[in-house]
Copies of this chain bind each other. A is one copy, B any other.
Amino acid sequence: MIHTMSLMHDDLPFMDNDDLRRGKPTNHKVFGEDVAVLAGDALLAYAFEHMAVATKGVPSERIVRVIGELAKCIGSEGLVAGQVVDICSEGNADVGLDHLEFIHIHKTAALLEGSVVLGAILGGANDQEVEKLRKFARCIGLLFQVVDDILDVTKSSQELGKTAGKDLLADKTTYPKLIGIDKSREFAAKLNREAQEQLAEFDPEKAAPLIALANYIAYRDH
């Protein structure tokens, strides 16, 4: 959870440049690691409490199903799996494409998958629709990381609103490092295309916000 919190802190989209320049300390710096770990446990439990207690106007069968979905996205087949593999890969020069994709699919895409799939189930989507939306979410989750890697080597710190080139400095395995900038851009375009293909059979008006989200992630420049 400590690593996750640091990740979230680094990537929080609503932190402005002033916050970043001030270098706001994370929970574990202010309250100690023990209290930060417990805060993580409490928030994790509270997510489930909230779903169980505060979800109104939805059949209980669906609430039970989304609780199972979210738990799976978090646990040893989801976020935690990605985080553990990431930690264990630090300083390993042999991290290949499959390995990198495993980390991103689990660490970043799993919670995006949860966000999309939970809404679909609560809204009454059928199994086929849920699986299309699951694939959409995995594509944009991976897309987010590929674009992040590209921006780190192509933009200045000022444009990014955070330190540029830090992946290179940290000797981190990234898509540009493994396959070069051009192929990384092609891969990003392919992921965006695949994501949007999943939405083809949905009501275009209802799918519009998801298409906009995919394009926002693909074409963002910071």
A interface residues (Cβ-Cβ under 8 A, vs B): 1-3, 33-35, 37-46, 48-49, 51-53, 59-61, 63-65, 67-68, 70-72, 74-76, 78, 80, 83-84, 87
Contacts of A65 in B (CB 8 A): 52
**21 interchain pairs, CB-CB under 8 A:** A1-B38, A1-B40, A1-B41, A2-B34, A3-B38, A33-B33, A40-B41, A41-B41, A42-B76, A45-B75, A45-B78, A45-B80, A46-B71, A46-B75, A48-B68, A52-B64, A52-B65, A52-B67, A60-B60, A60-B61, A64-B64
Q: With A60-B64, A64-B52, A65-B52 in contact, do A75 and B37 touch (Cβ < 8 Å)?
A: no
Chain A's interface: helix, strand, loop or mixed, by majority? Answer: helix
| A81: nearest chain-B partner, CB-CB | B42
Contacts known (A37-B37, A38-B80, A84-B35); A68 close to B53, Cβ less than 8 A: yes
Q: Are B63 and A49 in contact (CB under 8 A)?
A: no
Q: Write out the residue numbers on chain B whose beta carbons fall within 8 Å of the beta carbon of A41.
A: 1, 40-41, 44, 74-75, 80
Task: Name the CB-closest residue of B to A60.
Answer: B60
Q: Contact at A68–B44, with CB atoms within 8 Å?
A: no
Tell me the bound Cα distance from A5 to B34 in angstroms: 12
Most buried by B among A1, A49, A74: A49
How near does chain B come to A167, taking the closest CB pair, in angstroms? 20
Query: In this complex, what residue of B is CB-closest to A39?
Result: B80
Would A75 and B63 count as touching, CB distance under 8 A?
no
- 15 more contacts with CB within 8 A, not counting A33-B33, A60-B61, are A1-B41, A34-B87, A39-B80, A41-B74, A41-B75, A42-B80, A45-B72, A45-B78, A45-B80, A46-B75, A48-B71, A49-B72, A49-B75, A52-B71, A60-B60
